[in-house]
């Protein structure tokens, strides 16, 4: 038994010595790079499937079509004017008449396309205006806080579903309040993600810094991680409280509508106002300067 243990220890020592710390670091970096590549691919797919991003891309395509048809009209009118001047100067011939007919047909075709493109652009613009703004980008972060950032992803998705649950979304006051909530939450989310980016940079710097500087950098990163966790926890608490209230109010509103009674959106409105205020407080907290970088 002792001989086997000794042989195992010797084997591990030989392998570790042969590999060295450089190989271990390279392997760790390779695993981290693979994780970042997977996260980037997931983020690309999320953005491609985001309804708001889809609506924005369709609106951009409508703008391009409008420009193309407008260019066609301008070219056709310019060509028709040149043919007209030539015909007046040289007299009408069969070829000139045929060319003018073709140009006139081209202009009419482009005008029809331009009108359709304008109607489509108006419709696409209304669709974009009716949707919430795109969610903030979700960059890859250090492994130590990926779980917390996944919670923030879930809370952000839930918040948008929450605002979509409200009845009477066509009401101007409610619609304005929804936009206020989303805008405030997006500011808080962007600042929390910015802190997560700074934390990831600190962790990466700590692994490459001299051994004497690593404890200070790790302490700074731990303080920043605590602030991130606190901000995400408060974000989730606000969303959870508002979800319960708005869901209950939605059920009550549906029951009152079936009975023909007037609906009362006071409770969800108050909750959304509190939610917007809370998100602004989170943004103020997340936007405060982080502890000074000990490298400076």
End-to-end alpha-carbon separation of the chain, Å?
Answer: 55
Buried b (16+ CB within 10 A) or exposed e, 89-103: eeeeeeebeebbeeb
Least confident window among 74-78, 148-152, 213-217: 213-217
Q: What number is the average pLDDT over the span 22-41?
A: 57
**30 has pLDDT over 90:** no
Average pLDDT, integer, range 246-274: 52
| Residue recorded with tokens 């081209």 | 106
Please state, rounded to an integer, the average pLDDT across all residues of the chain. Answer: 75
Q: 34 falls in which pLDDT band (50, 70, 90)? A: low
* pLDDT in the model for residue 74: 92
- For residue 291, the SS3 value is coil
Three-state SS letters, 201-269: HHHHHHHHCCHHHHHHHHHHHHHHHHHHHHHHHHHHHHHHHHHHHHHHHHHHHHHHHHHCCCCCCHHHH
- The whole-number pLDDT of residue 61 equals 94
pLDDT confidence tier of residue 260, bands split at 50, 70 and 90:
very low
Q: Cβ atoms within 10 A of the Cβ of 246, count?
A: 22
Please tell me the distance from the alpha carbon of residue 269 to that of residue 274, in angstroms, as a whole number: 9
- Note whether 165 and 247 are within 8 A (CB): yes
Q: How far apart are CA 208 and CA 35, in angstroms?
A: 19
Q: How many residues does the chain have?
A: 296
pLDDT computed for residue 267 by the predictor? 55
Mean pLDDT value of segment 174-179: 71
Res 12 pLDDT > 80: no
- Crossing angle of helices 146-165 and 172-208, rounded to 10°: 170
Given a cut of 50, is residue 110 above it in pLDDT?
yes
Q: Which of 270, 190, 176 is nearest to 235 (CA)?
A: 190
Spatial distance between the Cα atoms of 271 and 289, rounded to a whole number of angstroms: 30
* Measured distance CA(206)–CA(281) in Å, rounded: 31
pLDDT at position 257: 43
* Percent over 70 (pLDDT), the chain: 67
Q: Between 132 and 171, where is the model more confident? A: 132
For residue 259, the model assigns a pLDDT of 41
Model confidence band, residue 125 (pLDDT cutoffs 50, 70, 90): very high
Work out the average pLDDT over 260-280. Answer: 62
Q: Interior CA angle at 45 toward 169 and 121, to 5°?
A: 50
Buried b (16+ CB within 10 A) or exposed e, 5-38: eeeeeeeeeeeeeeeeeeeeeeeeeeeeeeeeee
Average pLDDT of span 258-280: 60
More confident: 22 or 185: 185
The fold adopted by the segment(s) 142-296 is I/LWEQ domain (1.20.1410)
Tell me: the pLDDT tens digits for 43-80?
Answer: 667 777 788 889 999 999 999 999 999 999 998 888 88
Q: Is the pLDDT of residue 14 over 50?
A: no
Q: Report the pLDDT value the prediction gives residue 68, as an integer from 0 to 100.
A: 94
Judged against a pLDDT cut of 60, whether residue 230 lies above it is answered with: yes
Query: Residue 292: pLDDT band by 50, 70, 90 thresholds?
Result: very low
Percent of all residues in the chain with a pLDDT value above 90, rounded to a whole number: 18
Tell me what pLDDT residue 36 has: 59
């Amino acid at each position: 038994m002792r001989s086997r243990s000794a042989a195992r220890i010797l084997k591990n020592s030989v392998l570790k010595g042969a590999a060295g710390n450089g190989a271990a670091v390279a392997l760790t970096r390779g695993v981290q790079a693979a994780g970042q590549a997977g996260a980037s691919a997931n983020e690309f797919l999320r953005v491609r499937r985001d309804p708001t991003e889809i609506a924005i891309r369709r609106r951009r395509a409508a703008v391009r079509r409008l420009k193309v048809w407008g260019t066609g009209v301008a070219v056709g009118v310019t060509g028709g004017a040149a043919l007209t001047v030539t015909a007046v100067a040289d007299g009408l011939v069969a070829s000139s008449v045929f060319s003018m007919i073709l140009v006139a047909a081209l202009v009419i075709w482009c005008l029809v396309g331009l009108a359709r493109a304008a109607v489509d652009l108006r419709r696409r613009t209304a669709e974009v205006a009716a949707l919430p703004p795109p969610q903030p980008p979700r960059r890859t972060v250090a492994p130590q806080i990926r779980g917390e950032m996944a919670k923030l992803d879930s809370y952000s998705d839930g918040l948008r579903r929450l605002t979509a649950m409200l009845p009477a979304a066509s009401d101007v006051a409610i619609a304005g309040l929804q936009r206020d909530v989303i805008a405030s939450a997006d500011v808080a989310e962007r600042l929390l993600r910015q802190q997560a980016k700074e934390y990831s940079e600190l962790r990466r710097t700590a692994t490459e810094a001299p051994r004497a500087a690593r404890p200070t950098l790790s302490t700074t990163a731990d303080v920043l991680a605590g602030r991130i966790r606190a901000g995400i926890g408060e974000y989730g608490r606000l969303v959870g409280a508002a979800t319960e209230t708005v869901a209950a109010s939605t059920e009550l509103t549906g029951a009152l509508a079936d009975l023909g009674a007037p609906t009362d959106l006071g409770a969800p409105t108050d909750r959304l106002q509190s939610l917007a205020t809370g998100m602004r407080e989170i943004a103020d907290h997340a936007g405060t300067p982080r502890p000074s970088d000990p490298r400076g």
